[in-house]
Amino acid sequence: MIRQYLRAVRAIAAKDLLLEARGKRRANGAAVLALLIVVIFSFVFVRRVDEQAVIARGGLWIALVFATTLALSRGIAVEDANAAIEGLMLAPVDRSAIYLGKVCSSTVFVTAIGWVTLVAVTVFLGAPFEPALLVQLAVVFPLAAIGFSAAGVLLTALTLNSQVNESLLPVLLVPLVVPVILAGIELTGLAGGPFWLSEWFRILLVYDGTVIVTGWVSFEFVIEA
């Protein structure tokens, strides 16, 4: 039973990543949006604000959150076409497997967007990211991605049958992931220190756990509604 459940989670995650690798619709859109936000940041702030590190942190996380929102929104469109998600719902496993599978694939995807955004921030905002911070981000990006994805997948399922789902998602998602954005910005500023002892790191972990459990428990009811 558990093996079949895990097999379903893996199959759904692999399917999402294969679809993305083939179409690149989400990747291209999200990367371009992140790039544009960073470029606009560079026009507006770079020569006018002294603390470049602050600008870089803000630019990085704002670009990431909006690129992620776009990516999640497009991700659910794939399930909407031909009502493909109902095919997944017919699988003889608990429907929370669909949720976990999609959270896994989105986490990989959002983490990748994070690194792409970081490159853009480094180039356009001249961000002084040190090697120690890159190691730190290797932990923070996936944890933030889990938070974005866990909340985002649940909300996309909630808005799936809404005719205004693409405009509704950012309105619902961005306020919900404020703890992730704040924790991300703060943790990006703690270069070199033991970031895992930081209060923000704990907040990020607790947020991830809370949202995943909430989504895991409620997904079946949300998707049937």
Residues in touch with other proteins (CB under 8 A)? 1, 4, 7-8, 10-12, 15, 18-19, 22-23, 78, 81-84, 86-95, 220, 224
- Judged by beta carbon, residue 100 or residue 145, the one nearer other proteins is 100
Q: Give residue for tokens 């603390």.
A: 51
Q: How many CA atoms lie within 13 A of 220 on its CB side?
A: 11
Q: Of 81 and 164, which CB lies nearer to other proteins in the complex structure?
A: 81
Nearer to other proteins, 90 or 197 (CB): 90
Using the minimum distance from each CB to other proteins, give the nearer residue, 41 or 109. 109
Q: Which of 21/164 has CB closer to other proteins?
A: 21
Rounded to the nearest whole angstrom, what is the least distance from the CB of residue 205 to other proteins in the complex?
30
CB of 82 to other proteins, least distance (A): 5
Q: Among candidates 88, 92, 91, 69, which has minimal Cα distance to 79?
A: 88
Q: Which residue has the tokens 């949720």?
A: 99
**Residue 89 and residue 1 in contact, taking contact as beta carbons nearer than 8 Å:** no
Residue 8 or 177: which CB sits closer to other proteins? 8
Q: CB 102 → other proteins: shortest distance, Å?
A: 13
- Min. distance of Cβ 96 from other proteins in angstroms? 10
Q: How far is the CB of 85 from other proteins (least distance, A)?
A: 8
d(CA 13, CA 97): 10
100 vs 225: CA distance, rounded Å: 19
Residue 221 CB, shortest distance to other proteins, in Å, is 9
Instruction: List own/partner pairs for 172-177 with CB under 8 A and 24 or more apart.
Output: 173/69, 173/72, 173/148, 174/65, 174/69, 176/151, 177/65, 177/147, 177/148, 177/151, 177/152
Q: How far is the CB of 17 from other proteins (least distance, A)?
A: 12
In terms of CB distance, is 81 or 197 closer to other proteins?
81
Distance of CA 224 to the CA centre of its chain: 24
Measured over the CA atoms of residue 204, residue 138, residue 21 and residue 73, the dihedral's sign is positive
- CA-CA-CA-CA dihedral for 10, 7, 160, 22, to nearest 10: 40
